[in-house]
Structure 1
Amino acid sequence: MTTLDELDKRILQQLQVNNALSNQELANLVHASAPTCLRRVARLVKAGVIAKQVAILAPEQVGAGLTAIVEITLDHQATEHQIAFEQLVAKEVAVQQCYRVSPGPDFVLMIQVADMAAYHALAHRLFANQANVRNVRSFFSIHRSKFETALSLS
């Protein structure tokens, strides 16, 4: 784990709100010089603290308005079977997140697709055709009241 000082935290808080800030805008907001900000951000990227710099899209605006939360239970839970399942879902763009969980199911997936027909096709491809998938339990979002990507740095 990387040790973060107060300036690092201020930089990270600002970048979590708006990663499109120019270096000068960022420096002004965190009360540091532009060269200092540039060095700090580069260090945070190199250390892996900043894992990705992305644009977060509105799913309903790009034809991916159905969110499915899916619990998966495998027949065989040995590490190699879990890794094989993770590799399978990693190839699927619609699978936004994959978590190994305990207790309960083996995995929880967050899936974003256009509609139920698209979900059905994905479920058939990823789950029904896999001999090691024992149980699939799907929940469909009818309303998203909160969605955040920012982490607390306190």
Structure 2
Amino acid sequence: MDEIGDADRRILNALQADSRLSNQQLAEIAGMSASACWRRVKALEDAGIIRRYCAIVDPARIGRTFHAIVHVTLTRHDGRNVETFIAEVRRRPEVLDCHATTGEADYHLRVVCADLAAYNEFLERFLFRLPGVATVRTNLVLKEIKQETAIAL
């Protein structure tokens, strides 16, 4: 796909704000016909720029009040341990984000659970049992200051 233009930016900004907009509403925002808008959205999807559509759920309103940033260091970067760690973390619904990083920890996870007991169970029955996990350090999230779901365009 060519570099995104102004109309694509308007489409992407509008969809990031409300992915339930109709194609007609989106076309009006983007300043184009409905058929041209549909083609642009399809091209953005096909190019992988739009990866998926989703609803943002407030964790506290569904009983997930424990929120932590977990720093994980592996004993060594044995390929099998890394692959196992990544595959298993991807399966866990408590893990909202996982990033491989530089610095003291190898991975940073954002974990949301019902409460401290559920988090302790997540640690003991899952994270501590993964091969190659050397250290786990937890920072509790006290207050959310900023969380963006949209990328500034």
Common fold by TM > 0.5: yes
Residue-by-residue CA offset, 1:30-68 (whole Å, 9 max, x unaligned): 111111111111111111101110000011111112111
Q: Quote the residue 2:32 is aligned against.
A: 32
Answer whether contact 1:98 1:109 (CA < 8 A) is retained. yes
Amino acid of the residue matched to residue 134 of structure 1? Answer: A
Q: How many residues align?
A: 153
Answer whether contact 1:2 1:47 (CA < 8 A) is retained. no
* Distance in 2 of aligned mates of 1:106 and 1:84: 14
Q: Quote the residue 2:82 is aligned against.
A: 82
Alignment RMSD (CA, Å): 1.3
Q: Quote the residue 2:56 is aligned against.
A: 56
CA shift at 1:119, angstroms?
Answer: 0.5
Q: Quote the residue 1:94 is aligned against.
A: 94
Q: 1:5-154 counterparts in 2 under 5 A?
A: 5-153=5-153
CA shift at 1:101, angstroms?
Answer: 0.5
- Which secondary structure does the structure 2 equivalent of 1:89 belong to? helix
Amino acid of the residue matched to residue 102 of structure 1? Answer: T
Identity of matched residues, %: 34
Unmatched segments (≥5 aa) in structure 1:
none
Amino acid of the residue matched to residue 24 of structure 2? Answer: Q
* Distance in 2 of aligned mates of 1:19 and 1:63: 25
* Distance in 1 of aligned mates of 2:14 and 2:59: 24
Answer whether contact 1:113 1:119 (CA < 8 A) is retained. yes
* Distance in 2 of aligned mates of 1:9 and 1:93: 32
* Distance in 2 of aligned mates of 1:150 and 1:54: 12
- Which secondary structure does the structure 2 equivalent of 1:48 belong to? coil
CA shift at 1:125, angstroms?
Answer: 2.0
CA shift at 1:8, angstroms?
Answer: 0.8
CA shift at 1:78, angstroms?
Answer: 3.1
- Which secondary structure does the structure 2 equivalent of 1:4 belong to? coil
CA shift at 1:2, angstroms?
Answer: 5.6
Residue-by-residue CA offset, 1:92-141 (whole Å, 9 max, x unaligned): 01111111101221100011111101101111122222241110000111
* Distance in 1 of aligned mates of 2:150 and 2:2: 18
Unmatched segments (≥5 aa) in structure 2:
none
Question: Runs of at least 4 residues of structure 1 off by over 2 A?
Answer: 78-81
Answer whether contact 2:85 2:131 (CA < 8 A) is retained. no
**TM-score calculated relative to the size of structure 2:** 0.94
Q: Please identify, of 113-122 and 77-86, the stretch whose mean Cα deviation from structure 2 is larger.
A: 77-86
CA 1:2–1:128 in 2, change beyond 3 Å: closer, same or farther?
A: farther
CA shift at 1:71, angstroms?
Answer: 0.2
